[in-house]
Amino acid sequence: MTVASADHSLETQKKTGAPVWDLPLRLFHWLFAGSVAAAWGLGKFGPDVMTLHFWFGYAVLALIAFRLIWGFIGSETARFSSFVYSPKTLFSYIAKLPKRQASNWKGHNPLGGLFVSFCLE
């Protein structure tokens, strides 16, 4: 398992000029949220014919399959390896939280990455 790089300075991010999340990842998040909401709404309030509910469920499964693949071959911030930070980096980040200053992490910060890792397990 690769530990994410430690260069998260604002200057480095400004030099790249690239958006943090790539288009496929943004589309995944919006389509996933919409498909889950549509599947739930059609299951709860929809017609007695559950065909659309099932199709949105299949869409959710297809999107999850896409995300699993994209987590290994996608852009740097979309990869699962970018969520993993060393314990030293994690505890250093937590120690700085009471100062309430912007942390300027590209992608998930160490605590956010830990939460995402827990959600994926």
Q: What confidence tens digit (pLDDT) does each residue in 3-59 have?
A: 555 555 445 545 556 678 899 999 999 999 999 999 999 999 988 889 999 999 999
Could you say which DSSP state residue 71 is in? H
- The yes-or-no verdict on residue 81 having pLDDT over 60 is yes
Token pair belonging to 9: 């300075």
pTM over 0.75: no
Could you say which DSSP state residue 47 is in? -
Q: What is the mean pLDDT of the chain?
A: 85
Contact 120, 84 (CB under 8 A): no
pLDDT of residue 87: 92
